[in-house]
Structure 1
């Protein structure tokens, strides 16, 4: 699955015929089934699908957090299958950024200490100008000496975004990054993520269940039953919601309803 954008630009992440099997024998479950997908440098892609479609497994395999049963995952020009655990850890630290729903900030560290932590762990001397640029970009210049507990949820997520941006990774994986935020705060965070792609050429892959969040992306790819089942370019919330409904994502009242579209993000 290649877009014109992918052809023009280099590829930040590529999955080729990735299978992921959990369990053995009668308990065997195929979470990903021959999944092939690529993400061009400087693009913003949302990954969506019904519950159990393989979104989390995709994220873990693409980010080098889990190893596929078969197939290949390439980040930049590096095939992850050829790396041992030490090399994988280094690659994740140097070339991949993560943003999670739960922020994952260290409560005893200040905003600035949380942001520069990836650089410290990599043994790199922080470039003060680069860090200040990131801090200003995410709107935290007045908060750098605060602790996470002194910040709102939206501000904490901005710290997490700055921490992901500061190493200038090849790709940032975001897992439901606005799931814990109210509608207005989520919109501001999504606009910031959009700007990181448009203004500085960051590559962003975001797993989400929310059509409004997905509409900030250049492209939405849909998974169902561990397979790629379609994509939308220049998505609108309505088009995303319609596609998700066709996939049966909201037929069951116990799952996320399409009221998400009407009510915005939660």
Structure 2
């Protein structure tokens, strides 16, 4: 499954387990997940409800600590980091884009975008900031406040804010969930362009097969396990797999029927 070396990867998980609670009431949200994400790649993470997608994102991004296993982000083992180091890494090496745009209403576009730099104690590079604002198509909106922007424009601000620090990886959690179909397509094309033009690494959690089809690769989780992946996906192929996975999750919650994936893994 993982044919890359650690130096090739922006993020690498090795046998990651995450258990909530203790004893009979414990819940295993991730159960031995090993995955790697190449630098300059766009990966969608999918799975049925309760498959572990959110826990995966939280552990991969250093927002939560695994019960066991290791997470390497930009070559650094997060298990050896204290909270201060993790906070610094999240500010400087990780970008986040969520379904909720999380913009500060009193700040302008440019102020919202540069906020992570200021929180990290870094002086914004005006040229870099201007380049990012132009890249997301908001050159004529730099001084507007969020209330003066459409939903798609606000998500573009959030993407620019995630990109401005030059992060090792951007984690996107349902970034098009609050957008109409046309606007969602524009945002997904923008994410694609940031991967291709900037060699940005993007890992996107989504439930939408159409959104996943914009990625280079789709990774499937079920019952806390990695159960297959698919390169160069189409929306139809992803939807068909999700249908099978959903049926399995409803009926099995145990050993799954092992079938060959498009990349020689199992599904």
Q: Please give the TM-score of this superposition, normalised by the length of structure 2.
A: 0.91
1:90 aligns with 2:78: no
1:255 aligned residue: none
Match of 1:29 in 2: 27
**CA drift at 1:150:** 1.1
Cα distance in 2 for partners of 1:67, 1:9 equals 22
- Measure the CA separation in 2 of the matches of 1:47 and 1:155: 24
Instruction: Summarize the Cα distance change of 1:83–1:150 in structure 2 as closer, same or farther, 3 Å threshold.
Output: same
Match of 2:223 in 1: 225
1:72 pairs with 2:74: no
Unaligned runs of 5+ in 2: 251-267
Kept in 2, the 8 Å contact 1:244–1:250? The answer is no
Q: After the TM superposition, which of the residue ranges 182-191 and 104-113 deviates more from structure 2?
A: 104-113
Whole-Å separation in 2 of the counterparts to 1:195 and 1:249: 35
SS state at 1:57 partner: helix
CA contact (8 A) 2:98 2:173 kept: yes
1:177 and 2:172 correspond:
no
Task: Please report the RMSD computed on the Cα atoms of aligned residues, expressed in angstroms.
Answer: 1.5
Question: Deviation digits for residues 225-265 of structure 1, max 9, x if unmatched?
Answer: 0000000000000000011011026998xxxxxxxxxxxxx
1:8 CA displacement:
11
Q: How far has the Cα of 1:9 moved from its partner?
A: 6.9
Q: Distance in 2 between matches of 1:18 and 1:75?
A: 14
CA contact 2:117–2:123 (8 Å) conserved in 1: yes
Greater displacement, 9-18 / 86-95:
9-18
Q: Decide whether the 8 Å contact of 1:45 with 1:205 is kept in 2.
A: yes
Q: 2:37 aligns with which of 33, 36, 39?
A: 39
- Determine the structure 2 residue equivalent to 1:13: 11
Contact kept? 1:9, 1:40, Cα under 8 Å: no
Q: Distance in 2 between matches of 1:92 and 1:137?
A: 23
Structure-1-length-normalised TM-score: 0.91
Question: Where in structure 1 do 4 or more consecutive aligned residues deviate above 3 Å?
Answer: 6-9, 249-252
Cα distance per residue 1:73-113 (max 9 Å; x no partner): 00011000000000000011110000000011111111100
2:120: which partner in 1? 122
Aligned counterparts of 2:84 and 2:41: Cα–Cα separation in 1: 29
Counterpart in the other structure of 2:2? 2
Aligned residue in 1 for 2:262: none
Matches within 5 A, 1:83-232: 83-232=81-230
Stretches of structure 1 lacking an aligned partner (at least 5 in a row) = 253-266
Counterpart-to-counterpart distance in 2, 1:88 and 1:118: 15
SS at match of 1:142: coil
Q: Distance in 1 between matches of 2:197 and 2:160?
A: 15
